[in-house]
Structure 1
Amino acid sequence: MKQSAENKNKYNVSGYSTVRNNTTPFRGLLSITGQAADAAFVTVVGDYLLTEEGSGKHTGRFSGDFKIIISIPGEELRTRSHQTEFTGTWRNNDGTLDFKTNWKNQLP
């Protein structure tokens, strides 16, 4: 992940998507559209567009929204934790496949 030099709310990302035995590299953009904080949590929201490399029926684009929640250690919370969730769609390049997507991770 690399922060854009032109816009501090945009991040260029790359990685891999895996479905069954098919692993495909992707590149894309995460755009932060909002932030909020209180004494216990920081919340960051935005949208994403990730394009898989290659061609064929099983390559395409992920798009949608993301939300990151980070806890702030204090009197009630002893350790920092965070949760990241991506919700959206995957559509193949020729438009014949279209699936809802949702993935997340959480660290205690």
Structure 2
Amino acid sequence: MVVDRKRGKNIRKLRPLHLDMKKPNKTDLVYLEDSPDYCEPNDELGILGTRGRTCNRTSIGLDGCRLLCCGRGYQTRIRDHEEKCRCHFVWCCKVHCDVCRSKRDHHVCN
């Protein structure tokens, strides 16, 4: 996008950089500078990148491995998982739980 200034007025008007681009409407989000690449680390900008990030293999959203890993793929690791289970209330006033162990897939960006 290019910013035009009207003569004698402090009004800015956006117009497409190329003729084949559509004009922005009132609800479009426009930007004047390129966004940084969040996939790769950049110490100057404080960007950590996405390598080593946990992702959701089945999600098509922002947390999904396909998008979050920036096309680099991911590794699946099997991890031991512990959580409280079979909890019951003991009068008065305690809750007793067992610890259940299971193995879970954990997906991490390459």
Q: TM-score range by the shorter chain?
A: under 0.3
How high is the TM-score relative to the length of structure 1? Answer: 0.23
Q: For the pair shown, which has the larger CA radius of gyration, 1 or 2?
A: 2
More strand by share: 1
Q: Report 1 or 2 for greater relative contact order, CA contacts < 8 Å, sequence distance ≥ 6.
A: 2
How high is the TM-score relative to the length of structure 2? Answer: 0.23
